A and B are shown apart, each in its own frame.
Chain A
Amino acid sequence: MIRAYHWLLPHPFLTLLLTVVWVLLQNSVTSGMVVFGLILGIIIPRVTVVWWPDRPRAFRLTRMIPYMLLVLWDILVANVQVAWIVLTRPNSKLRPAWVVVPLELKQPEAITILAGTITLTPGTVSADLSDEGHSLLVHALDAPDPDEIRDQIKERYERRLKGIFV
């Protein structure tokens, strides 16, 4: 039974996501569209399973949603801060800096989300990962104290992501 389930739904979350995207694309929530979306959501992961060899990693959805809200809020706050810097600070007083963030996260999915979060919050852009994946290179627009930005990233995002991907 479980094997049949794994065969039919190799990536249950992807199935759900494809169904939701299909319904949103159609712009109307009718049962026909939901069923058609479900059919697509089952066929597409099944056909592309060769390229997704690993089982999806479990993550805690209950902690993912507060994390997404936190990131949205940070995007808003940081946007205003960066807009203020752009409008008022002359270039000579700007202190851009590279920040090296040592990573405790191991899973590729978690590191991807962390890098995406850093880029989406204005003022910091994640540039590269080290060759063995132990640290992340981040460029900060205005960093009088690079260590503070590093600690903030670790404290605010990485610690929460460690709780999401166990």
Chain B
Amino acid sequence: MKTKLITAAVAAMVAASPAVAELTFTSLSYRTGPYAANGIPFADGYADYFTLLNERDGGIGGEMVNLLECETGYNTEKGVECYESTKDQGTLVYQPLSTGITYQLIPKVTADGIAMHTMGYGRTSAKNGSVFSNVFNYPANYWDGASVAINHLVDLNGGDLKGKKVALIYHNSAYGKEPIRTLEELSAKHGYDLSLLAVDHPGQEQKSQWLQIRRERPDYVIMWGWGVMNQVAIQEAVNIRFPMENFIGVWWSGSENDVKPAGDAANGYKAVTFHNVGSDFPIFDDIQKYVVDAGKAAGAGDQVGSVLYNRGLYAAYLAHMAAEKAQEISGNANISQADMIKGMEALEITQPLMDKHGLAGFGPEFSVSCENHGGPGLGAVQQWDAGAGEWSLISGFEPSDGEVIDALIKEDSEAYAAENNITPGC
């Protein structure tokens, strides 16, 4: 009886949610749970950018943007619930910010004909657009990140990593395991020794891993962490006096939240990135004027300009560009979910375009095609300056090792195609 009452009540509510005729985007955010510290700035940046579009430009191409937000708590079951509750409202693109949820949604979005953009996370082999027709991971993916980190080490060592010891400390999940294959292949190519150290969710307990690092004395440590794991790892590295400039995180392990708890000792910590840092771009003036000062900032409004805020903003910017492209292709301002996929496939980001939107030099130039959903895979290295309290880029956006990565992507995507009876094609 209770069940029936509840279900009846839920039915009434679902029916009551309004139908909208605007461009709908969905932010699958996590502002609660063990990963909230990282989820909040991203969600804020994502929301603020769309608020800016609505306030300043009146939406995209004259169509207002309706941003739905759904809390996943980084939990796959809630992620599915969010997806199901928002897909019928015409969401144009999903950006779940969780590799676990991405894996869940890949088959679902493909069956439902909706685009998904996993910027710098998710399934790396989705770069092969002929197999993963609805999933995009431009401008860079995990394997690019691993390769850019190794390239940086190669540069530091004058082009030779032979005999060096590299340790990977990773979140023991699908996310953390992603770079292992690439790092192994690269280790065969460059001749370094790789050791793997897994940290279980949520990552507060890392004493034994760092004890091992202290014992084995690797030359470099690469980190694939998220949430509280990052802060703990950096603190532990400080505790064993591991030289910070030899410690490189992936882009998900390189935000202010991660380095600040360790104080001055975190000075020199590095992370890979695929977009620029700081708030020294014209667009931030507009955000201040139209969003923050107008009292419309998402969340507490205190995250503007932080690394993950910028990433959320960049994700929203790329969605905006794809939507404009889709409007241009279809000749229709009110684009459909299928149009959006075509827009993403034809996406081209150039410096003049970024200049025009107040984001000069914010990210690399790249273009997407039906075969290549991942762009060129450019990445840069950023370093933390604890004195000034800010990140700065210490390299330009440089390409990853395409030779190694493309072969791995081909292999993995073909395995997926065979498993799921997909005939690759564009």
Genuine A/B complex = no
Question: Which A residues form the contact surface with B (CB < 8 A)?
Answer: none
Question: Which B residues form the contact surface with A (CB < 8 A)?
Answer: none
